[in-house]
Structure 1
Amino acid sequence: MTSSLTYIDLFAGAGGLSEGFIQSDFRPIAHVEIDKAACLTLKTRLAFHYLKQNKQSESYISYLKGEIKRKDLYALIPDNTLSTVINAAIGKSNQFIFDKIDELTPTTQIDVIIGGPPCQAYSIVGRAPLKHKKNDERTTLYLEYGKFLNKYNPKIFVFENVPGILSSADGKHYKNLQNYYKSLGYEVEAKLLNAIDFGVIQNRKRVIIIGWKKELQLSYPDFICEQQRYTRDDIFSDLPEIAPGENNRFHQYAAIPNEYLLSKELRNGIDIVTQHITRPHNLRDLKIYELAIEKLAEGERLKHNQIPQEDRTQKNTTDFLDRFKVVGNEPHTMIAHIAKDGHHFIHPDKKQLRSISVREAARIQSFPDNYYFEGVKEDQYRTAAFRQIGNAVPPLMAIRIAEKIKEMLNGK
């Protein structure tokens, strides 16, 4: 990570967007994130990149296998690498964040700012009817993002969010955002992109707003859509069978990697699979899961009103009829609700009868198998990992975005 191209990642989450920029040879100056578990994930990923660059990957593998503790892993990494992760709330802690970044790089030019504020306030998709707060402060976090643009004056910024940001409040929120960033000296354009067009096995549409300094006279990049389409079986084919609630530190792969896993580098050199763990389930849920798998085999989705009354977990049989959903062979969209329960992500194998594992969720989001998701407590990470994965930008998509930003900066 010695590139001359630099970036700051705001609302960094687990680092899906950042991963794309690191793999495209950008150097992170700071990652700012409010969630402590996500900050630990970011540190662990920075540890991976540092050790790989310094030909010490065996120490990272030792951590994945549980042979060394997290503190032992971090002790191998220079403090000026790990301290680039800033655990703070943007908006409430801006001056603290500015001071920390200035300490890290007092004279460094920031080329790019990336990130996307929490999207729930703009979202039109959910597992229950949304009850947005009036004047939800999350709809104005773009103002806080703008304060970083104003202070660090990057050449380009990338702002990621859900499609609803364009239509929320009859388009007022996006229009205000656009006008504000233009007042800071940027040309601003937004496009709706779908992760499936970047090799990710899910229909995940996101608005990618790109802004560039007016004097650069750039334009929004063109993305060539990937024509090859892959399926769920391309993700799950080499993973071993596990039972509900299984919590092994790591497993051996059950098969050699297929073309998708190799070409997209999800299988990337390590000989074990970690975080292939899943939730425990009660007998009632397992009965419903079995019914859902049987329905899918018949070519239809289980509706909530088709579940026997004695097995229903909710009385409402008119809203959200697809409460229980098997991951079919068509692209299955990852949603943040996976942190709450696995009912929308039932594994298709009736012999396993469970919701998908952390690793399977990560693969749907196109995270490579050596990406490790942390919890605040080292041995209790499952819920935190699902939350981080559900909210992430798919790295395969992020890589393509970063490559285009690099071309813009290099004048190609």
Structure 2
Amino acid sequence: MNNKNFNYIDLFAGAGGLSEGFKRSGFEAIAHVEMDKAACYTLKTRIAYYHLKENNRIKDYIAYLEGKITREELYSLIPSKILDTVINLPIGLENNETIFSKLDKHSSGREIDLIVGGPPCQAYSLAGRSRSKDKMVADPRNYLFLQYANYLQKYNPKMFVFENVLGLKSANEGRYFKTMVTLFSNLGYEIADFILEADKHGVLQKRKRIILIGHKRHLKLNVPDFESFEIKAKVSDIFADLPSLNAGEGVNKYASYKCDGNPYVYDAKLRNGIEVLTQHVCRPNTKQDKEIYKIAVELWLNKNERLQYDNLPDNLKTHKNRTTFCDRFKVVAPELESSQTVVAHIAKDGHYYIHPDIHQNRSISVREAARLQSFPDDFYFEGVKEGTSRTAAFKQIGNAVPPLMAERIAIYIKRLLQA
């Protein structure tokens, strides 16, 4: 195939972590389809970033990060036909025809090279099943892969990338996974599945995901295994240049860095030229939370041990559940090469993501969570309304594909398409 800029459609796009990797690698987004309204604003803001950057108007985007212009004013600088490529609808039988119509308009008759995306993972995740009385068997999200298949059938892309949690392989005793592979195969695709570990692709986080890559049989591609891509660093590297905060503190737009960054934040493209720090804000914590956080940090720093809930003083134990999730309070250990997995539950509380500095005594900020996921600092997470929305930002970050890992996937796919 030729060396053109390949295009893609992003389904179940979320905040655009997967898309960020493909965009960086030279792919052109036809459209993003996402049901969450806040995430759609985030996608539009990122589209605005790329449009302004590519047209030598990055100062306009910086003005937004600095709070000098509103979101509405930022969007007014972008052609509406570009912003309209973000389609805020749930994928499913009720909306598919409408989405198809919009995709047809944005593709302008072009052949689609690639479809990427992964349905919401809660129905397949081990944590989700452990909390559910019926093990999530009745959850309709189990069958969203059927909708993904509808888009493969409609647009017949050369390749697709389907991303999800490891629990996909074991959910319903593996039946969903087997059905999925058979369905995609019946649509004319050769399927290869991989387990990718984020910390082997430059991300300072333990995060395993299953990746299905499909290509049309007539392409007869040789699909090799992924090569690791490690950037030597410690988790402390993501904290070092950020200002100290106490619980409940921070500035949404904008703050200054405490100092120059270490090599990792530049190598991983977290700091990439726009020296405007945003969303370094953290949630307030109760007096009880902060007492527990101090115990957890001291235990880790002094004994290298994780806090078990039952070992807390009785006056700090308020949960009736003492048999599961006993490690619900966990420090983000600075001296390790990867943190615990950042998940969407961080939107509900930060107990599993305690900052390692006992003097700050808080859970991690939005920006720190984004850095653990390898999002660049110029990536702005929106709420439905303009302004600070920690909950919406944390949810989007926890649900996302780390952009650095996505970029490795995109480079891999591009090589196959160019073969």
Same fold (TM over 0.5): yes
Counterpart check, 1:408 vs 2:416? yes
Matches within 5 A, 1:191-202: 191-202=194-205
Give the CA deviation at 1:47: 0.2
Separation (CA, whole Å) in 1 of partners of 2:230 and 2:412: 19
Give the CA deviation at 1:335: 1.5
Separation (CA, whole Å) in 2 of partners of 1:308 and 1:116: 43
Query: What corresponds to 1:203 in structure 2?
Result: 206
Superposed CA RMSD: 1.3
Query: What corresponds to 2:180 in structure 1?
Result: 177
Query: What corresponds to 2:259 in structure 1?
Result: 255
Give the CA deviation at 1:304: 0.4
Query: What corresponds to 1:299 in structure 2?
Result: 304
2:15–2:40 CA contact under 8 A, matched in 1: yes
CA deviation string 1:221-267 (max 9, x = no partner): 33221344322111111001012111412211011111111111111
Q: Percent identity?
A: 53
Query: What corresponds to 2:96 in structure 1?
Result: 94
CA deviation string 1:290-341 (max 9, x = no partner): 1111111121111101111211231222211101001013222212210110
Name the TM-score, length of structure 2 as normaliser: 0.95
What SS does structure 2 have at the residue aligned with 1:252? coil
The answer to which of 159-168 and 244-253 deviates more is 244-253
Separation (CA, whole Å) in 2 of partners of 1:282 and 1:56: 44
Counterpart check, 1:288 vs 2:296? no
Matches within 5 A, 1:91-130: 91=92, 92-125=94-127, 129-130=131-132
Give the CA deviation at 1:108: 1.2
Provide structure 2 residue ranges, at least 5 long, that are not aligned to the other structure.
none
Name the TM-score, length of structure 1 as normaliser: 0.97
Query: What corresponds to 1:154 in structure 2?
Result: 157
Counterpart check, 1:394 vs 2:402? yes
Moved over 4 A (4+): none
Counterpart check, 1:271 vs 2:275? yes
Separation (CA, whole Å) in 1 of partners of 2:129 and 2:375: 24
Residue type of the partner of 1:237?
Answer: A
Query: What corresponds to 2:317 in structure 1?
Result: 312
Counterpart check, 1:26 vs 2:27? yes
Separation (CA, whole Å) in 2 of partners of 1:268 and 1:8: 26
Separation (CA, whole Å) in 2 of partners of 1:105 and 1:171: 36
Residue type of the partner of 1:116?
Answer: G
Separation (CA, whole Å) in 1 of partners of 2:224 and 2:44: 31
Distance change (3 Å), C-alpha of 1:318 and 1:368 = same
Provide structure 1 residue ranges, at least 5 long, that are not aligned to the other structure.
none
